[in-house]
Amino acid sequence: VLTSFPGAQLAIGPPITDGFYYDFDIGRPFTPDDIELLEGKMHKILAEDQPFDREVIDRDQGLEMFADQRFKTEIITDGEASQGVGDGVITVYRNHDFVDLCRGPHVRSTGFLSAFKLLRSAGAYWRGDEHNPQLQRIYGTAWNSQKDLDAYLERLEEADRRDHRKLGVALDLFSFPSELGSGLAIWHPKGALVRKIIEDYSRNTHLAHNYDIVSTPHVAKANLWETSGHLDFYAEGMYPAMELDHGQEYYVKPMNCPFHILVYQSSARSYRRLPMRLYELGTVYRYERSGVLHGLLRIRGFTQDDSHIFCTEAQLAEELQALLDFTLMVLRDFGFTDFEADLSTKPEKAIGDPELWDRATDALRASLEVADLPYEVAEGEGAFYGPKIDVHVRDAIGRRWQLSTIQVDFAQPENFSLEFNSPQNTRERPVMIHRALMGSIERFAGILIEHYAGAFPGWLAPVQAAILPVADRHNDYAAGVADELASLGLRVEVDDHDDTLGEKVRRAITAKTPAVLVVGDDDVEHGTVGLRLRDDEGEERGVPVPDAGRRLVELCAPPR
């Protein structure tokens, strides 16, 4: 970049999953021609097998070396360049005429880097802060061989075909109107129906697992968020206060937990009535920076399948085990089969009894091992108020998604002075468990769209069967077939547009409808349909309507 844009300011360039990026300020965005030019120069550098040389220098030497690079001098001045190296000491790597801050390690020379590709460029704010200068980020990827690189690029193409933002428009599921503002989605009829199916499943399975459904408002007075600690620790993620009731400040909720705590507090609690499991499809609002918003996956207003469980210390291990089993059941019902987890343990700064931390962490670990769930321990990565499990799934093309969180909380029971009456008739603190199995309905739906490439399983599809009359004279018969199938609980749509049959078939296939039923003269005469299932080749003619109905009911049966 420096040889092509001599005045370029260099920011940072870390490795990321499956690749790397580097941020630059060249005064304008990079063009595709720029990327092609840079990639060509990189290939020449690889062919020259230039060595990488590591140097250790002090802070003053670094400031002198990078005097004309304002982002580098800021990193050195702030002490970031010394992290992991030593106080006042930084490391740089030289590559021919180029030198850069880096902790390393590096490969010995550029000749080891045989297969790479620059992928794209995008805007990015310095330090992720929209008040800072906007830089230009170039993304790339590097692999051990051209074969590995080609396979990765094929996966990227497949991921692009599955992009929920594109499929959401193509399937008429949702949109993000600019009139609303960034990160706020509108669900169209078919998308809202998919969402309702997901929510109904969630609500019904929680009822079956002895959860109590609650409903809470979207706003609360400031003192609630002061007590919970959100205004101290999470204010940047909250929308600004609204002044109502003669200057009283209200906030839209970023989380549901304080409201569920108020339900617990609403009457005296006894150990005999614990655990208490409260569940809500609760809509929350978080001020995410515009640069990190991403379709339904990162959004400002979303609904969580949120639950808070209040139990005794003695009940904690059993409750966590049951909760993890419940989590995996839910994820399997939606078609995920490949799971792994992270167990985040006590950080240096934490509240609560260390022995209780150990017992809670051991209980989380035991639940993972009983479930035979592969996991990694993230030492010291737990929140200050308790350890947690994050459950990840792999989708149909092998991508890893974090979905479910099970979080033990020792802080909020203290903040709100929660109590229950023990068997010894003493007042004791309950333990609180936060958990969201889907994360949010919006994000979960986005992941499902990409997992299934928009071709939802029958029970999730907004339209389960499309009925296509060959000509206008078959419309009444098609409507009768639709009524018969609808009486079986199927979601049916008749395409009676004034189009050719071929156009109707293409429309149904593009909509990824699980079943297409064609009706013509013979079908009207014999009470049959032509049946074409999405995952089968060809059409089966002359299927009696009752038989088609039974097969579609089986095809579209929900889990359990």
Which candidate in 34, 306, 395, 523 is catalytic?
A: 306
Catalytic: 269?
no
**Percent of residues in the chain assigned helix, strand, coil, to nearest 5:** 35, 30, 35
Catalytic: 304?
yes
Which residues have C-beta within 8 Å of that of residue 11, sequence separation ≥ 6? 22, 23, 24, 25, 71, 126, 135
Q: 55-87 burial string, b = 16+ CB within 10 Å, else e?
A: eebebeebeebbeebebbbebbeeeebbeeeee
- DSSP code at position 430: P
Residue position matching structure tokens 């969402």: 195
Catalytic: 306?
yes
Which candidate in 9, 136, 304, 407 is catalytic?
A: 304
Strand pairing report for 465-469 and 492-494:
parallel
Cβ–Cβ contacts within 10 Å for residue 105, how many?
Answer: 10
Instruction: Tell me the CA distances in angstroms from 370 to 23, 103, 374, 375, one per residue in order.
Output: 45, 40, 11, 12
- How many whole angstroms separate alpha carbon 215 and alpha carbon 133? 43
Rg (CA), the chain: 29
Catalytic: 434?
yes
Which candidate in 117, 230, 257, 523 is catalytic?
A: 257
Catalytic: 246?
no
Catalytic: 257?
yes
Residue position matching structure tokens 């079956």: 208
- How many whole angstroms separate alpha carbon 123 and alpha carbon 28? 10
Which candidate in 164, 298, 392, 434 is catalytic?
A: 434
Q: What is the 3-state secondary structure (H, E, C) of 263-277?
A: HHHCCCCEHHHCCEE
Which candidate in 388, 451, 491, 532 is catalytic?
A: 388
Read off φ and ψ for residue 268, nearest 5 degrees. -65, 145
Read off φ and ψ for residue 490, nearest 5 degrees. -90, 150
In the β-sheet with 400-409, what is the strand arrangement from edge to edge? 212-213, 276-285, 301-311, 431-436, 400-409, 388-394, 339-344, 375-378
Which candidate in 308, 346, 435, 451 is catalytic?
A: 308
As beta bridge partners, residue 25 has 9
Strand pairing report for 301-311 and 431-436:
antiparallel
Instruction: Tell me the CA distances in angstroms from 305 to 198, 220, 302, 443, one per residue in order.
Output: 10, 20, 10, 11
In 3D space, the residue among 120, 138, 158, 194 whose CA is nearest the CA of residue 13 turns out to be 138
- How many whole angstroms separate alpha carbon 307 and alpha carbon 213? 9
Residue type, 534: R
Which candidate in 190, 286, 346, 491 is catalytic?
A: 286
469 token code pair: 């009359």
- How many whole angstroms separate alpha carbon 275 and alpha carbon 156? 46
Residue type, 223: N
Instruction: Tell me the CA distances in angstroms from 369 to 34, 67, 293, 340, 410, one per residue in order.
Output: 51, 54, 35, 11, 23
The CA-based angle 189-190-194, given to 5 degrees, is 115
435 token code pair: 């958990």
Which of the residues are catalytic?
A: 257, 286, 304, 306, 308, 388, 434
